Structure 1
Amino acid sequence: MVRYEERRVPVLLLLMSDTHLPRRAARLPDELLARAERADVVLHAGDWVDVATLDLLEARARRLVGVWGNNDGPELRARLPEVARAELGGLRFGVVHETGPAQGRERRCAERFPGLDVLVFGHSHIPWDTTAPGGLRLLNPGSPTDRRRQPFRTYMTAEVSDGRLTEVTLHRLPPRHP
């Protein structure tokens, strides 16, 4: 019997958080919506604020993994978990909104989420990419609509291929959006 090496196609990911619609912007940026349609999986780490944004991403994304955040009301909390988990391309992902202060984050998250390979989080609107001792990768895509004290509005893309996270990219959007 001849064995052929199975070649896996990369899983394309779009990571976002803290969309705060319509409070911080009238709509999601066109660039972000275009990427949502091309991604295999969209991960949203909470603070949607309106149900219409959830409906929009559910309609456009092939697969959506999302959680509620501290600014999300009862309708969103009824449809989304506080913590979501998904296996994507051989890696175990977690999504949560709040992880606490930056100091000690890696240790806290590694203790709170054993068994994960990647944790996507939001809340601060500050992009973050670190690896905790033990290997847990922590990613915060920032916010595509509300830059707060950051120079740019941001989101992330990544690929998962053969059980490895690759091509993690922070994308900057112009400071203003209607």
Structure 2
Amino acid sequence: MRLLLMSDTHLPLRAKALPPALLDEIPRADVVLHAGDWVDTATLDLLEARSRRLVGVHGNNDGPALRARLPEVAYADLDGLRFGVVHETGPAAGREARCAARFPHLDVLVFGHSHIPWDTTAPSGLRLLNPGSPTDRRRQPHCTYLTATVADGELTDVELHRLPPRS
């Protein structure tokens, strides 16, 4: 099972559209996970139309229309792994312990908010993944997203993709 992870698309505030390289990945994914801050409903509509399966949450920049359609936390069992998706996890310091305590039933937690790619594993075994942002790199050198594979209850091939600068 191929996964595509993204967050913090902030359309149309930070970009007018999702990058072509990211759009090309959507139909290749069995599941698309979006960790919030869509900003517009058109992006949600686009991902719902193009994705085989979409798991998404709202973020702090998402208004009433998105909050009506998306939960604050989403859960999915994907080929034997228990996934959670949430927008905010608080400061980097203590993140692993805080998330492991909040989500003791999960194997993988996908989150956003910081626009900073993150891939760590808590002592409890919880894997924490932040794909960064495909449209707003902030203080990062590149806009990014993640892909991964789930097979037989294992997460493998987690890859951070750097997107070319917008022209």
**Taking structure 1 as the reference length, what is the TM-score of the superposition?**
0.93
1:26-70 superposed Cα distances (whole Å, 9 cap, x missing partner): 000111111111100000000000000000000000000000000
- Aligned residues with identical type, % of pairs: 81
CA contact (8 A) 1:151 1:175 kept: no
Distance 1:107 1:175 in 2: 35
2:8 counterpart of 1:12: no
CA contact (8 A) 1:141 1:154 kept: yes
2:29 counterpart of 1:29: no
1:176 CA drift (Å): 2.1
What CA RMSD, in Å, does the superposition of the two structures yield over aligned residues?
0.6
Distance 2:84 2:27 in 1: 22
2:123 counterpart of 1:138: no
The farther-off stretch of 63-72 and 25-34 is 25-34
Distance 2:165 2:98 in 1: 32
2:11 counterpart of 1:47: no
Which aligned pairs between 1:10-159 and structure 2 lie closer than 5 A? 11-159=1-149
Tell me the SS of whatever aligns to 1:176.
Answer: coil
User: Where in structure 1 do 4 or more consecutive aligned residues deviate above 4 Å?
Assistant: none
1:115-158 superposed Cα distances (whole Å, 9 cap, x missing partner): 10000000000000000011000000000000000000000000
How many residues align structurally?
167
2:159 counterpart of 1:169: yes
Tell me the SS of whatever aligns to 1:175.
Answer: coil
CA contact (8 A) 1:18 1:46 kept: yes
Tell me the SS of whatever aligns to 2:133.
Answer: coil
Greater Cα radius of gyration, structure 1 or 2: 1
Q: Structure 2: where are the runs of 5+ without partners?
A: none
Q: Which residue of 2 aligns with 1:160?
A: 150
1:175 CA drift (Å): 2.6
